[in-house]
Amino acid sequence: MGEIDTVVPAPRAEGTDGQGRIPGVPGFARRPHPPGTAHRTAQRSPKAEGKALRDRIPRGAHDSLLLAADRPDAVRAVEESNAGRVPELTPIRVGRMAAGPFAFLRGSAGLMAHDLAGTPVTGIAAQICGDAHAANFGLYGDARGSLVIDLNDFDETVTGPWEWDVKRLAASLVLAGREAGADETTCRAAAFDAVGAYRRTMRLLAKLPALDAWNAMADERLVSHADAHDLIGTLERVAEKARNNTSARFAAKATEHDKDGNHHFVDAPPVLRRVTDAEAAAVAASLEQYLHTLPEDLRPLLARYAIHDVAFRVVGTGSVGTRSYVVLLLDHRGEPLVLQVKEARPSVLLPHLPKEGFQPAEAGHEGRRVVLGQKRMQVVSDILLGWTTVNALPYQVRQFRNRKGSVDPAALAAGQLDDYGRMTGALLARAHAHSADPRLIAGYCGKNEEFDHAVAAFAVTYADRTEADHATLAAAVRAGRIPAEAGV
């Protein structure tokens, strides 16, 4: 849906435009042969095309990690990634990243992309998350309030190598397990199981009718498919909290009525602070543009709300320092809806994609990139996703506290870590299968565990590298080389 962010060489079927479409017939794949005629030309199936890629990129080669000579050290990487952020907030970002190796990984997607550039890739393009670590999966509400579980962070999304997401997920599981106190065998097993679930889910999707594969839902069947039964109790507890994590609950805690009866946010620095009238007016005015990025049938819904206040709110780990606002809207009954208007910066993956043969498309609106990437990867997305521009900067817009809930992978019991790995691996495969033909990836990954073992070995190696990077950053913080504010 929408424009593709990058162009990449891919297996090309004879008589097509390189994307499986007949020239002059946009959007449709080439038929194997016209109805009522013999198949005159031997065509390799997508599965066979994927399998053939093993000759060029052996599956076992994915265990490799060769760091480039120009790799920045951890401190320089963090300082470079802080460029363009709100200066007074960057110490909070550094403090959060310095909290531990898993937190460091969460904030260093750009550094990992630098390290992944040059590692083996098949050249199969997919819409990737770009930051598919284990904490970026979670619960959220659909239009009717039911809960679904899926990837839920798309700030770095681009069209790129599907392998990068798989490797980031696997490495994050090793780090999360170490932080939780699991032994090394358990941590490696979680990474191995995540990759195995990815591979098996892609094979399953490849066998389904196209429409069934496209609409495969992330619901209770996922737990059974991923053999993640030990997670059921944890997911139920998270779901119970998520159902109460709404705009109304946030507004009840974060707003008040003043003496004139106006409803407004309450300062809670440094996480939530009021803004100047001019800044609030600019954000409020931008919502007119946002409305035109929504489907027309939803515009009457938002027309029933009035804007009452705007505040600045600090978010995330890697996102700290980006400009992010919450907007309080009330309907005719005084029921609140809170929108988040979050700055959308260029994906940190973009500078590293050309090394893998992926050429970035012309720069467009970064909020649009995030929103369309999210919709391409999720089965169900926030119906109010859109984008806008505030003071010449691009932003994404979405519901705030849309019944969101998440599992902290670093707090899981050792016996649950592999279940969580299998569940997230299956979710990632389903997300990639919306843009990449699952038959291609399934053909490459195959039936045996060679790919699983290779990526699990990579994950352990990269986790060790991340721990060393974190130690470098922590030492720099202690020495006063880089400002950090802990515990915020």
With 80 as the cut, is the pLDDT of residue 222 above it? no
Q: What is the mean pLDDT of residues 309-329?
A: 93
**What per-residue confidence (pLDDT) applies to 89?**
95
Phi, psi angles (nearest 5°) of residue 408: -85, 105
pLDDT interval class at 260 (50, 70, 90): confident
With 70 as the cut, is the pLDDT of residue 1 above it? no
Say if residues 121 and 145 touch (Cβ distance below 8 Å).
no
Number of domains in the chain: 1
Cα 228 from Cα 18, distance rounded (Å)? 39
DSSP string, 93-130: HHHHHTT-HHHHHHT-HHHHHHHHTTS-----EEEE-S
**What per-residue confidence (pLDDT) applies to 217?**
63
**What per-residue confidence (pLDDT) applies to 147?**
86
Domain hosting residue 135, numbered range: 47-244+406-478
10 assigned to some structural domain: no
The more confidently predicted of residues 10 and 259 is 259
Q: HSE, CB side, 13 Å, CA atoms: give it for residue 107.
A: 33
Say if residues 149 and 372 touch (Cβ distance below 8 Å).
no
Q: What is the mean pLDDT of residues 267-272?
A: 93
The answer to whether the peptide bond before residue 270 is cis (omega within 30 degrees of 0) is yes
Q: Across the strands, what pairs with 160? A: 126
**What per-residue confidence (pLDDT) applies to 8?**
33
**What per-residue confidence (pLDDT) applies to 276?**
96
What secondary structure letter does DSSP report for 18?
S
pLDDT tens, 56-98?
999 999 999 999 999 999 999 999 999 999 999 999 999 999 9
**What per-residue confidence (pLDDT) applies to 33?**
53
With 60 as the cut, is the pLDDT of residue 15 above it? no
309 assigned to some structural domain: no
Alpha-carbon 19 to chain mean position? 25
Q: HSE, CB side, 13 Å, CA atoms: give it for residue 464.
A: 8
150-164, 225-239, 303-317: the lowest-pLDDT one: 225-239
State whether residue 294 is helix, strand or coil: coil
Q: What is the mean pLDDT of residues 164-168?
A: 98
pLDDT interval class at 228 (50, 70, 90): confident
231 assigned to some structural domain: yes
pLDDT interval class at 259 (50, 70, 90): confident
Q: At what angle do helices 184-207 and 162-180 cross, to 10 degrees?
A: 150
**What per-residue confidence (pLDDT) applies to 486?**
86
With 60 as the cut, is the pLDDT of residue 10 above it? no
Q: What is the mean pLDDT of residues 283-308?
A: 96
* Residues contacting 278, CB < 8 A, separation 6+: none
End-to-end Cα separation, the chain, in angstroms: 38
pLDDT interval class at 20 (50, 70, 90): very low
**What per-residue confidence (pLDDT) applies to 17?**
43
54 assigned to some structural domain: yes
Cα 247 from Cα 305, distance rounded (Å)? 13
With 60 as the cut, is the pLDDT of residue 35 above it? no
For the chain, helix, strand, coil in percent to 5 are 45, 15, 40
331 assigned to some structural domain: no
**What per-residue confidence (pLDDT) applies to 5?**
35
218 assigned to some structural domain: yes
pLDDT interval class at 4 (50, 70, 90): very low
**What per-residue confidence (pLDDT) applies to 214?**
87
The more confidently predicted of residues 460 and 403 is 460
Cα 449 from Cα 445, distance rounded (Å)? 8
Q: What is the mean pLDDT of residues 314-324?
A: 89
pLDDT tens, 99-148?
999 999 999 999 999 999 989 999 999 999 999 999 999 999 888 888 88
Share of the chain above pLDDT 70, in %: 90
Cα 376 from Cα 387, distance rounded (Å)? 16
132 assigned to some structural domain: yes
As to burial, measured by CB atoms within 10 angstroms (0-12 exposed, 13-18 middle, 19+ buried), residue 365 is middle
pLDDT tens, 171-212?
999 999 999 999 999 999 999 999 999 999 999 999 999 998
Cα 134 from Cα 166, distance rounded (Å)? 10
| Residue-averaged pLDDT of the chain | 90
157-161, 315-319, 432-436: the lowest-pLDDT one: 315-319
With 90 as the cut, is the pLDDT of residue 215 above it? no
441 assigned to some structural domain: yes
Cα 440 from Cα 206, distance rounded (Å)? 8
With 80 as the cut, is the pLDDT of residue 27 above it? no
Say if residues 287 and 388 touch (Cβ distance below 8 Å).
yes
Q: Across the strands, what pairs with 337? A: 329
Q: Across the strands, what pairs with 137? A: 151
23-32, 217-226, 406-415, 459-468: the lowest-pLDDT one: 23-32
pLDDT tens, 328-372?
999 999 999 999 999 999 999 999 999 998 987 777 999 999 999
Q: At what angle do helices 74-81 and 90-97 cross, to 10 degrees?
A: 140
**What per-residue confidence (pLDDT) applies to 12?**
35
